[in-house]
Chain A
Amino acid sequence: MSNIDYPIAKDNDSKSIFKFLVSELKPRGKWITPFNVISIPIMLLGLILIVIRFWKGIGSITNLTQDVPWGLWIGFDVVTGVAFAGGAYVLTFMVYILNMNKYHSIVRITVLNGFLAYLFYAGALLLDLGRPWNVINPIIGNNFGTSSVLFLVAWHFLLYMIAQLIEFSPTIAEWLGAKRARRILSGMTVATVIFGITLSTLHQSGLGALYLMAKDKIHPLWYSEFIPIMFFISSIFAGLSMVIFEGSISQKVFSNQINEKHHRSHDDILHGLSKICSVAMFAYFFLKVIVFIHGKHWQFINTPMGYWYLVEMIGFVILPMLLFFSSYRTRNILMIKLASIITMVGIIINRLNVTVIGFRWDADIRYIPSWMELVVTLAVIFTELWIFRWVVNRMPVLRESPSWVNEEK
């Protein structure tokens, strides 16, 4: 399976492209797998709920209140999902800007993952819009709310998705056997990567900056004027933890796609990533401590929210940071994976603390997401995974590029 050149690479007339696409659309392999059995009903249920939502209004399936207008869909899908997708800009930075070739074999899968994450999680934003037909206003420019952080973030999402698509496009060209297109597209990579990193820096921090005006609404332990910087730094290790986690799963699930050499180098890659994570986490931790002392937040520690803050800091920042540090020294791969999972849970907790749990923590009616919001969120994630799997099984994402790519050089 690993190194087929599709017949399409030889003859390029349009009829065979069509046939080729149709054949590629068909599912491959077994239908009844545990993943399918779980995901299909949830996706269908999610679809029904989405129809209800557009028919009866957002309140019909969510528990949002007048005090807490942004819930799980923004706090988890968008804010957390985008943090996890941060791996793409960190990795393209390492590979294309720093030219660290060691990580080259995982760039494609990470960019794919990032692109789909943006497509779906930022797409989840549309579900949350009460008047989505007006979404066109800030895009075509008849109403530019340039003083709005959300305006900035929305535009960056859009541009970054395009950038990621271009970054990924050589893979698509290889799949289609489009030699010339591939050459042109891969020539654009460095410029696109630079553009993409700049956009990412700004919108990863921008997601935090969204909450700057909600000064009196977010619990003081989580609000500070440094939210943007903290969101940015934490997106580095959030993204890389996702890369580690996703990589270890892909190694198993898509093992037929990966050749021996990459299998072996994977441990080395994880090892390098864990080092970066530990350093970034240290910087994050340091900043958190400074903000805490600077804000004189001692009086909050001995409250329920204070304990929760300590849980986040000790259990989900210090602990995984130490695990990353020590696994870097002992080269313990299992520990790296464990640390990455704890980090990811910690990121979820942190983002939800800012956006949902600590947001109007003093409201009379606390917002607790409904099961339907959860189902829709899961449905979005599963749909993304389906497409992810479809692409990985067909395009040279994990496996070697077709042989003509190297011949060309």
Chain B
Amino acid sequence: MGLNRRSFFKILGVAGATLAVGKSFGAPQKKMENDIEFYGMLYDSTMCGGCQSCEIACAEAYGLPKPTDEPKIGVLRKTDENRRVVVNDYKTSKGEVYIRKQCMHCNEPACAAACLTQAMHKTLEGPVIWRGNKCMGCRYCMVSCPFDVPKFEYHSANPKIQKCDMCYDKIKGCGIPICAEICPAEAIIFGKRRDLIKEARRRIVQNPGVYVDEIYGEHEAGGTGFLYLTPTPINELGFNSAIQKSSYPELSKGFLFSVPTIFVLLPPILLGIHEATKKNQLKEGGENE
């Protein structure tokens, strides 16, 4: 088959990238974890007791209403404009498992690539934060986030995007995120992403049979700052198993790279055609405007 995956855009894209103009468009943040060490969090769901301490502390810290419901098997609680984190209870092949959900703090976040005002922003430290003074409320971040994380206050005249920001302000002041601080079971630890992966590996090796041999978030969506250790495959815990392993901004890169190419190539072609056809027309003596 002549049509290879993305080959069309790739060709245009390569051409575009070689043009100097290409630099301003496209190229979503190329901050790879090798250059900078992102902070992240490791959540061990086998240690989580579903006590909701993190939910309560988070709500208090960010002025959100206290949770009124509890994790229960068969009930899917979702994050929304009033809660940045939720803990759910699942019945799995390994018995009852608690699992929490919040922003994954992707290494290459789709939300930040989507945001046309840079309100969604991957900080150098690692957290992905939302900056209200820039956001215009277009909700393109919500459309793009593969984990459906950003939530919007639909019932406000001054709506905000609500999502976990890994307590960015606390981290900057050398603190740690409130949930990692408060968790009585120590199910959440905060640290450099690289160290967390090492720690997770260690736990998997030392406790064979307890965990599935996979760190959710190590490769998902190009790698995320939030990492999960789970006793069962992730799709038993309400996660979308279709999440691709490569970064999401990559999906629109080809298009963005082809933009400068078209901008440089198309106008001269059009002008050429115009000049070529004008001659015919002069012969016919048609009206020209």
Contacts and interface: CB of A to CB of B under 8 A. Distances in A.
A308 B47 CA distance: 46
Interface stretch (A186-194, A261-269, A373-381): A186-194
Interface string A151-164: 11010000000000
Interface string B242-260: 1110001101101110010
A170 B116 CA distance: 35
Nearest to B282: A99
Contacts of A104: 287, 289
B157 A134 contact: no
A146 to B, nearest CB: 6
A129 B161 CA distance: 12
Given A66-B80, A137-B136, A216-B243, A294 B1 contact: yes
Interface in B102-158: 110, 112-119, 132-140, 142-144, 146, 148, 151-158
B152 A143 contact: no
A38 B248 CA distance: 46
Interface in A173-212: 186, 189-190, 193-195, 197-198, 201-202, 205-206, 209-212
Contacts of B252: 149, 209, 212-213
A58 interface: yes
A145 B117 contact: yes
A60 B22 CA distance: 42
Is chain A's binding surface mostly helix, strand, loop or mixed? Answer: helix
Given A99-B278, A213-B144, A149 B255 contact: yes
B159 A131 contact: yes
Contact of B136 (A129, A170, A193): A129
A35 interface: no
Contact of A186 (B137, B154, B244, B289): B289
Interface stretch (B53-61, B171-179, B264-272): B264-272
B144 to A, nearest CB: 4
Nearest to B115: A145
Nearest to A147: B28
A213 B136 contact: no
Contacts of B249: 147, 213
Contacts of A62: 154
B114 to A, nearest CB: 6
Contact of B113 (A98, A154, A213): A213
Nearest to B133: A134
Contact of B152 (A69, A132, A229, A290): A69
Given A198-B267, A202-B262, A214 B135 contact: no
Contacts of B256: 147, 149, 152, 209
B81 A66 contact: yes
A134 B135 contact: yes
B255 A205 contact: yes
Given A147-B28, A149-B256, A290 B3 contact: yes
A105 B80 CA distance: 54
Most-contacted residue by chain A among B153, B240, B243, B266 (CB, 10 A) = B266
A177 to B, nearest CB: 18
B150 to A, nearest CB: 8
B159 to A, nearest CB: 4
Contacts of B117: 134, 137-138, 143, 145
Contact of B270 (A55, A59, A145, A197): A197
B216 interface: no
A118 B274 CA distance: 26
A57 interface: yes
B6 interface: yes
Interface in B167-213: none
Contact of A64 (B154, B242, B267): B154
B142 A69 contact: yes
Contacts of B15: none
Contacts of A202: 259, 262-263
Contacts of A206: 255
B246 to A, nearest CB: 11
B27 interface: yes
Contacts of B143: 69-70, 210-211, 213-214, 217
B137 A132 contact: yes
B286 interface: yes
Nearest to A149: B252
Interface in A251-278: none
A257 to B, nearest CB: 19
A212 B251 contact: yes
A202 B26 CA distance: 14
B280 interface: yes
Contacts of B140: 148, 150, 210
A130 interface: yes
B281 to A, nearest CB: 4
A215 B146 contact: yes
B94 interface: no
Contacts of A69: 139, 142-143, 152
B142 to A, nearest CB: 4
11 contacts: A57-B157, A101-B286, A130-B135, A131-B136, A132-B136, A150-B138, A152-B256, A213-B113, A213-B249, A225-B254, A229-B8
Interface of A: 54-60, 62, 64, 66-67, 69-70, 93, 96-99, 101, 104, 125, 128-135, 137-138, 143-152, 154, 170, 186, 189-190, 193-195, 197-198, 201-202, 205-206, 209-217, 225-226, 228-229, 290, 294
Given A54-B157, A128-B138, A190-B271, 13 more contacts: A66-B78, A131-B158, A135-B136, A145-B116, A149-B114, A194-B274, A201-B262, A211-B143, A216-B240, A217-B146, A225-B254, A228-B9, A290-B3
Task: Give the 10 A-B CB pairs with smallest separation, nearest first.
Answer: A130-B137, A59-B154, A151-B116, A147-B28, A131-B137, A69-B139, A145-B116, A134-B136, A69-B142, A213-B144
